[in-house]
Amino acid sequence: MARDRDPGREIIPAVQKLRIQHAKRDRLRFTSHRDFQRAFERALKRAGVPMAYSAGFSPHPKISYANAAPTGVASEAEYVEIGVIQVVDPDKLLAVLDEVLPPGLDILAVVEARTPDFVARLEASHWRIELPGTPVATLDQALEKFMASSEVLVDRMTKSGLRTFDARTAVIRANVESGADCAILQVVVRHGVPAVRPDDVLAALKKVADFAQEIPPRVTRLAQGPLLEDGWSVGDPFTLDREATQA
């Protein structure tokens, strides 16, 4: 502890930044964001990643997290940025981090950060919401009413207290599919403040259609990134970094 709090410790600036895409699958979807932060920092130490640290009395590794999915939600598109004091090969970092992290927290891609404003690129998320026990026709009717509405207000308890906001305007595209044992809602949601989450969309559907969902939904974020030219597809936020690397 004394070593971490040494104000005279030499601070070596980052010479490279890397952006990491990881998944949160199976039982690990119940991992909170704070639990993931601890697991990720331990994995970086075990992998021997030469991390850069912040200045100050209590230096911290330079790690930035972007738009983490809620606890209980699976995801294929979580993003982290780290700073390192030695140049690291992205492919080697992917392999070693994936090896030391537990199954279910899986590293999917690593790129060198070559462009600014990464978080601003995360404009929308594509969610898959499985609703066991809900007939497809019931969900389809609820979605039709929801999409036809100009506004659907929902309530959510936040750290600042109860907030009421519109869940409809954030939804860019939505459709219903039939699964093996459930109805499936595919929905693209534009990011905003406050962020409209999958549970907010479900609350809005229930409000306009008054249908009950007794079995908890299974939610997965399939993609997170920029909106493409068609206005409703979610692209890969690493594309600009990959293109800059190849140039």
Does residue 101 sit within a domain?
yes
Quick: pLDDT tens for 145-173.
Answer: 999 999 999 998 877 788 899 999 999 99
pLDDT for the residue 92: 97
Question: Does residue 233 lie within any of the structural domains?
Answer: no
> Same domain for 198 and 134?
yes
Task: Look at residue 5 and tell me whether its pLDDT is greater than 50.
Answer: no
Domain end marker among 62, 87, 113: 113
Structure-model confidence comparison of residues 119 and 180, the more confident one? 119
CA distance 175 to 147: 10
Residues 96 and 136 in one domain: no
Q: Positive or negative, the Cα torsion across 236, 240, 245, 247?
A: positive
CA-closest candidate to residue 234, choices 79, 33, 114, 65:
79
**How large is the average pLDDT for residues 182-197?**
94
Q: Which of 113, 146, 162 is the last residue of a domain?
A: 113
Confidence tier at 210 by pLDDT (50, 70, 90): confident
Do both 77 and 170 map to the same domain? no
**What amino acid occupies position 42?**
R
Sorting pLDDT into bands at 50, 70 and 90, what band is 141? very high
59: amino acid identity, one letter? P
Q: Per-residue confidence at 114, pLDDT binned at 50, 70, 90?
A: very high
215 & 136 share domain: yes
The Cα angle at residue 172 between residues 169 and 177, in degrees rounded to 5: 120
Judging by DSSP bridges, how do beta strands 63-66 and 16-24 pair with one another?
A: unpaired
What does residue 37 show for φ and ψ, rounded to 5 degrees? -55, -45
Residue pLDDT, tens place only, 53-93: 988 778 889 999 999 999 999 999 999 999 999 999 999 99
CATH of the domain at 47: 3.30.70.580
**Residue 30 predicted with pLDDT over 60:** yes
DSSP 3-state assignment of 188? strand
Q: Residue 220 has what DSSP assignment?
A: E
Residues 33 and 62 in one domain: yes
pLDDT at 10 over 80: no
pLDDT at 102: 94
Closest CA to 79 of 104, 100, 109, 50: 109
State the total domains in the chain: 2
φ, ψ of residue 133 to 5 degrees: the values are 85, -5
| Listed residue (219, 18, 223) closest to 122, CA to CA | 223
Which CATH number goes with the domain that contains 207? 3.30.70
Domain containing 189 equals 122-225
Measured in degrees and rounded to the nearest 5, phi and psi for residue 66 equal -125, 120
Write phi, then psi, for 84 (nearest 5 degrees). -130, 155
Count of alpha carbons within 13 angstroms of residue 212, beta-carbon side: 1
pLDDT of residue 9: 57
Structure pTM?
0.91
Q: Is residue 8 part of a domain?
A: no
| Cβ pair 168, 119 in contact under 8 A | no
